[in-house]
Amino acid sequence: MSTPPTTTVPGVHRQRAFSAGRLLAWVVLLAMIAITLMPLWMVVKTGLMHPKDVYTSSTALFPPDPTWLNFKKVLGLISTEEALSLGGSGAQINFLRALGNSLLFTGIIVTLQTTSAAMASYAFARLRFPGRSTLFGLFVASMMVPGVVTFIPNFILIKDLGWLNTMAGMVAPFCLMQGFSVFFLRQFFLSVPRDLEEAALLDGASHLYIFWRVVLPLSITPLATIATLTGINMWNEFFWPYLVAKEELQQVLPVALQSFKSQTPQGQPDWTGLMAATAITVLPTVLLLMAFGRRVVESVQFSGGK
């Protein structure tokens, strides 16, 4: 196939630089950005409002009288009496505790699952052993089993082990096995040229040594990709922790936020407190994007089987 020189390619677009279609596309893109950011701004703005202003200024685009009161209240930095006098439910979210739980929950799973997946996928990609293709087939098939099938037996197992409301019970089903991670890393290992490994084998290095000293150092990028994806999914995981760890001290952030919401009276939720709690919970994700935006975006794009 003959490929025309790439330098002419931008010209195709440049001719249309000021076309109506391009303008329309910009309008759509900016509208999408506005639709994404507007709700987040309303959350922050409501969190900054004094509770007494909720009914008069709920739809104002800026807080009439900005205050940190709700944030302090939600973080438990003001006394209960003071919190109750603000008119809300006085409910608190044990934010630092939940943040710690979330970090621990995500950290344990990312570390163990990435390690276990890297080990298994190297064996599947490079070592010959009886049962290899059957086992790999089963691992890949496990991706098709929806969580809704395994959650009841897994819940019973965790309960029988006495692991309800423990970190062990929360991380157990996720920490050793994830079909997608094994599949993804095996693809990568298959694409690495064998030369280095064969040279090391001839020098008498063992497979384990080669895996640890030769292959893993070359695989930092795909490992980071899979760790990022697992991290995002686990940080946002609600269903399983909600089933096995509802007790306040063990709650991860999504569960804590849900229980904070359900504590507020039905007819008259504590909107300013709720929105302050929501804003605080959004913050770690925004910080992650600011620090590692490129890595996060590329990892997510890779998950599409690129």
265 binds another protein (CB under 8 A): no
Distances in Å between the Cα of 96 and the Cα atoms of 79, 112, 113, 149, 254 are 17, 24, 25, 33, 13
| Long-range contacts of residues 203-207, Cβ cutoff 8 Å, at least 24 apart | 207/126, 207/127
Instruction: Determine the size of the site formed for another protein (CB under 8 A).
Output: 110
Stretch that binds another protein, among 74-82, 87-95, 203-211, 214-222 (CB under 8 A): 203-211
Nearest in space to 284 (alpha carbons), one of 108, 110, 101:
101
**DSSP secondary structure string for all residues of 100-113:** HHHHHHHHHHHHHH
Q: How many CA atoms does the CB half-sphere of 266 hold within 13 Å? A: 0
What sign results for the dihedral spanned by CA atoms 53, 267, 255, 228?
Answer: negative
Residue with Cβ nearer another protein (20 or 81): 20
Q: Which of residues 29-48 bind another protein (CB under 8 A)?
A: 29, 32-33, 35-40, 42-43, 46
Which member of 14, 59, 134, 266 binds another protein (CB under 8 A)?
59
Residue with Cβ nearer another protein (82 or 198): 198
Q: Which of residues 87-146 bind another protein (CB under 8 A)?
A: 112, 115-117, 119-120, 122-124, 127-130, 132, 135, 138-139, 142, 144-146
267 binds another protein (CB under 8 A): no
49 binds another protein (CB under 8 A): no
Stretch that binds another protein, among 66-74, 77-85, 219-227, 235-243 (CB under 8 A): 235-243
Stretch that binds another protein, among 3-11, 64-72, 83-91, 191-199 (CB under 8 A): 3-11
Write the Ramachandran bin of 49: left for phi over 0, alpha for psi from -120 to 50, otherwise beta. beta
Gap between the Cα atoms of 6 and 245, Å rounded: 56
Nearest in space to 221 (alpha carbons), one of 108, 118, 304:
118
Stretch that binds another protein, among 73-81, 103-111, 191-199, 251-259 (CB under 8 A): 251-259
Gap between the Cα atoms of 128 and 241, Å rounded: 38
Q: Which residue type is seen at 42? A: M
Residue with Cβ nearer another protein (108 or 112): 112
246 binds another protein (CB under 8 A): no
Site string for another protein, 147-176 (x = CB under 8 A): xxxxxxxxxxx--------------xx-xx
Q: How far is the CB of 81 from another protein (least distance, A)?
A: 26
Neighbours of 190 (CB within 10 A): 12
Residue with Cβ nearer another protein (99 or 257): 257
Gap between the Cα atoms of 298 and 227, Å rounded: 12
199 binds another protein (CB under 8 A): no
Q: How far is the CB of 232 from another protein (least distance, A)?
A: 6
